[in-house]
Amino acid sequence: MEAKNINYNEEWLKGGLILAGVSILLTMLTYVIDVSLMVEWWFGVVSLLISMGLLIYLGINYRNDIGGILSYGDAFKFSFLVFFVSYVVGIIFQIALYTVIDPELPEIMKQLTVEKTVEMMEGFGLSDEALDAAIIGVEDGIDKATTPMGMIKSAPLGIFFLLFFSAISAIFIKRNPPVSDRIN
């Protein structure tokens, strides 16, 4: 395989913007179709799987463009940078969604999440006192998480998850040089 002359910074930036665009498109489609889907546990799993799949695809394309060999460390770095760009764009989009596009959405999300939480906890047979305490915690958490400052404050935890999923995706992206069994 012949390596192409590519700009590394352009590649991870382009990948991050593509990943962010797909995530924003998925969020907006869900928003338009049915907002209640956004609080379903499986929606987060599907979003993560789509993001991971796209990241691995972009990483393999990058690896092939540079000659087909990419160490785990370089694959990890590429994955993290792509995820980081997507994450930053995603935070900006979420701030716009919750403050400009639909300022009432945080309240709707809070109501839907409380309904899901009550449904789940009643299934566990929790007492009314425990249920009330859980509802207060959920409401407070959503109130904080949907403000611009709340999203920014949660960024360190988000970066930890970026590191974790970058480490996983790098496993699929890396390719070591072939090892010869010939003794020199």
Q: Which helix (H) or strand (E) holds 164?
A: helix 155-173
Per-residue tokens: 83:
């995820």
Contact 53, 19 (CB under 8 A): no
What is the average per-residue pLDDT within 146-171? 92
Q: Work out the pLDDT band at 1, boundaries 50, 70, 90.
A: very low
| 24 in Cβ contact with 93 (< 8 Å) | yes
Structure tokens at 160: 């930890």
State residue 115's pLDDT score: 87
d(CA 148, CA 42): 25
Name the one residue in this structure whose structure tokens are 């003794």.
183
Rg of the chain over all Cα atoms, to the nearest angstrom: 21
More confident residue, 165 or 138: 165
* Selection from 171, 51, 28, 11 nearest residue 102 by Cα: 28
Distance of alpha carbon 74 from alpha carbon 66, whole angstroms = 12
The percentage of residues in the chain with a pLDDT greater than 90, rounded to a whole number, is 61
Tens-place pLDDT, residues 22-36: 999 999 999 999 999
Residue 134: pLDDT band by 50, 70, 90 thresholds?
confident
Higher pLDDT, 141 or 73: 73
